[in-house]
Amino acid sequence: MKKINIGIVGLGTVGTGIARLLTENSDIISSRLGGELVLKKAADLDIERDRGIDFDPGVLTTDPYEVVDDPEIEIILEMIGGMEIAKELITRSIKAGKHVVTANKALLATSGNEIVNMASQKGVSLAFEASVGGCMPIIKTIRESLAANNIHSVTGILNGTCNYILTKIATDGISFEKALDQAKAEGYAEADPSLDVDGYDTAHKLAILSAIAFGMEINYDDVYMEGISAITPMDIEFAAQCGYRIKLLAITKYDGQAVEARVHPTMIPCYDLLSNVGGSMNAVTVTGDAVGDMILYGHGAGMMPTASAVISDVVDIARSVLAGGAMRMPILSYQADYIRKIPVKPMDEIFTYYYFRFSALDKPGVLAKIAGILGEHDISIKYVHQTEHRVNGVVPVYMLTHQAREAQVKKALDKIAQLGVIPEKPVLIRIESPEEEKS
Ligand code: NDP
Ligand code: HSE
C-alpha cells in the first residue's frame, strides 16, 4: 500500500486527537484512502507530556521547522493556532510545495485571501474543514454538495463555548463564569476565551462561510459582531416565556446585490431547529435555490470531532496525491477568476424583528412616551409586558416589535435614553423568525 507522509505542528487538544485517530482508526482510514497515512513528524513545545499515544521513535520534536522543512512530508497539519508563527509555518510549507490543512479560523479570517492566493499559485491544496463547525462538514457541503445552487443564506450556531454557556444558564441556572470555566475544562474554549464570548470566533467562521457560499473574498473586517456577555438570565427567562431561545447566531444572506454578515445574540422561536441545539453542539442552516433549507448538526468543538474533520481533509488531499497530484477542489469553492468583491450591507440597513428591555421608572406616562418615540421611528410594537418586580425604583418593560430598520431602532433608543425615565441602557436583542418572514 502506498504511504503518504504527514506532519503535525501542535499537539494540543486537536493535534493530540489527530494523532490518536491516525493510530486507533488507521485501518478504516487506509481502507477508504487506498493508501497509508504515516505520521512522520509531530512538533510541540512540550514533548514530555503523556498524551496516551505511542509515537514511533524520532517522530516527536520541539522544533516546528523540523516538520515543515522535512522533504519527505507532503501534507502539513497546522494545529498550533494563533497568528504570526502559524502564518509563517503555513506559508513556508506552501512555498516548499506542501499541501496544508489547518483549523485556524482566526488566521484564515484575517490573512486567508493572501494565503489562498499563495496556495493557488503554487498549485497546492489548502484545506480547513475543521475551522468552521468542528466535525460538521459545512465547507464540503457548500463547496461540493451544493455546487449547483445559488445560495441565499447561511445561518448557524458556530461557537460551542457560547452555546454551552447560554444553554447552561438557561437550563441549569448556573452563572456565566461557572459555565465558561466548564467549557474551558472540556477543551471547547479558545486559548483566549474572549475570542469566544465576545463573538470574534463566530465572526471569523462567518467570514469564511460567506466567502465560500457567495464567491467573494474573505471579508472579516466587514462582519458586524456582538458577543454574549451582556445577556442576562432575565432576558433568557423572558425569551422563554414568549416562546424563544437566545443563541449567538452567525447570519449571512445574499440578495444578489449585497451581503449581510452579522454575528449577535438572537432570539429564535422554540419551534425552529436551531433553537433546539444545546450544549456545545453546533448547527447550520443553508438555504439554496434548488435544495431549499438544509441543516447540519454536530459537535462544534472538542478533541475527537475536530480531529475527524481535519483527517477528512487529509484524506481528500491524499486521494488527489495518489491519483497523480492534481488539485481537484478550488480552495474557496469558486474558481479563482469568479471570486468577486461583493459589498457588505451596513448594519443600519438591516431590516428585522427586535426585543427591547427597558428598565423604566414606574411612573404614569412612561410607557406612552416610549411607545410614542418608537411610533415616530416607524417601529411597530407587537407585544409589551411590564412586570411588577421593582428593583431600585425601576421595573423591567419588555417589548417585541414587528420588522423595523436598524438605523431607526438605534435613533429611537437614543431618544428614549434621553427621556430621563430609563436609568439603565436599554437591552436590544434581534429576532430571527424565518416562518414570519415567509408569511
Ligand atoms: P491548543 O492550545 O490545545 O494546542 C496548541 C498546541 O500547539 C499546544 O500544545 C501548544 O503548546 C503548541 N504550540 C504552540 N506554539 C507552538 C510552536 N511554536 N511550536 C510547536 N508547538 C506549539 O489548541 P487547540 O488544539 O484547541 O486548537 C488548535 C487550533 O484548532 C486552533 O487554531 C483552534 O482555533 C482550532 N480549533 C480548535 C477546536 C477545539 O475544539 N479545541 C475546534 C476547532 C478549531 P503550549 O500549550 O505549550 O503552548
Ligand atoms: N472555541 C471554539 C468553539 C472551538 O467554542 O466553538 C471550535 O472552533
Looking at residue 439, what is its pLDDT?
54
Q: Are residues 142 and 291 in the same domain?
A: yes
* Alpha carbon of 399 to ligand 2 centroid (Å): 32
Tell me, yes or no, whether 20 lies in a domain.
Answer: yes
In a domain, 341, yes or no: no
pLDDT at res. 388? 72
Q: What's the 62 CA to ligand 1 centre distance in angstroms? A: 14
**Single residue among 286, 314, 336 that ends a domain in this structure:** 336
pTM, rounded to two decimals: 0.96
pLDDT of residue 325: 77
**Residues 262 and 331 placed together within one structural domain of the fold:** no
Could you give the angle at the alpha carbon of 320 between the alpha carbons of 319 and 321, nearest 5°?
A: 90
Do 236 and 319 belong to one domain? Answer: no
**CATH code of the domain in which 292 resides:** 3.30.360.10
Protein residue closest via CA to atom 8 of ligand 2: 301
Residues 433 and 285 in one domain: no
Residue among 299, 326, 319 nearest 29 (CA): 319
Count: domains in the chain? 3
Does 314 lie in the same domain as 268?
A: no
Among 237, 270, 299, the domain-final residue is 299
- Give which of 22, 18, 3 is closest to 78, Cα–Cα: 18
Q: ∠ at Cα 178 (175, 179), nearest 5°?
A: 85
Asked whether residue 142 falls in the same domain as residue 257, the answer is yes
Query: Among the atoms of ligand 1, which is closest to the Cα of residue 10?
Result: 7
Residue 27 lies in a domain: yes
CA of 315 to the centre of ligand 1 (A): 21
What's the pLDDT score for residue 312? 98
pLDDT digits (tens, 9 = 90+) for 21-74: 999 999 999 999 999 999 999 999 999 999 999 999 999 999 999 999 999 999
Cα(316) to centroid(ligand 2), Å:
23
Q: Do 379 and 326 share a structural domain?
A: no
Residues paired with residue 63 on neighbouring β-strands, in sequence order: none
From 14, 77, 162, the mutation candidate for ligand 1 (largest count of ligand atoms within 8 A of CB) is 14
Q: Do 168 and 275 belong together in one domain?
A: yes
Q: Which three cell numbers stand for residue 140?
A: 464540503
Structural domain of 358? 347-438
Determine which residue's CA is closest to atom 7 belonging to ligand 2: 301
Report phi then psi at 87, rounded to 5.
Answer: -65, -45
Q: Best of 135, 164, 201 to mutate for ligand 2, by most ligand atoms within 8 A of CB?
A: 201
Residue 342 resides in a domain: no
Looking from the CA of 294 toward its CB, the CA atoms found within 13 Å total 15
Cell numbers 441556572 label which residue? 173
Alpha-carbon 192 to chain mean position: 16
The grid coordinates listed for 381 are: 410594537
Pocket test for ligand 2, best of 190, 198, 248 (most atoms within 8 A of CB): 190
**Alpha-carbon torsion (120, 110, 300, 148), positive or negative:** negative
Domain check: are 148 and 11 in the same one? no
Judgement on whether residues 317 and 411 belong to the same structural domain of the protein: no
Domain of 357, CATH number, reads 3.30.70.260
% of the chain with per-residue pLDDT over 90: 89
Question: Ligand 1: distance of its center to the CA of 78 in Å?
Answer: 9
Residues 66 and 187 in one domain: no
Q: What are phi and psi of 424, to 5 degrees?
A: -110, 160
Query: For 316-373, how does the pLDDT look when each residue is reduced to its tens digit (9 = 90+)?
Result: 999 999 998 777 789 999 999 999 999 999 999 999 999 999 998 888 888 999 999 9
DSSP H or E run through 112: helix 105-122
248 lines ligand 2 (CB under 6 A): no
Q: Are residues 429 and 291 in the same domain?
A: no
Q: Which atom of ligand 1 lies nearest, measured to the CA of 46?
A: 47
Q: Which atom of ligand 1 is nearest to the CA of 107?
A: 32
Which residues are the active-site residues? 205
* Residue-level length of the chain: 439
In eight-state DSSP terms, residue 141 is: I
Ligand 2 lined by 316 (C-beta under 6 Å): no
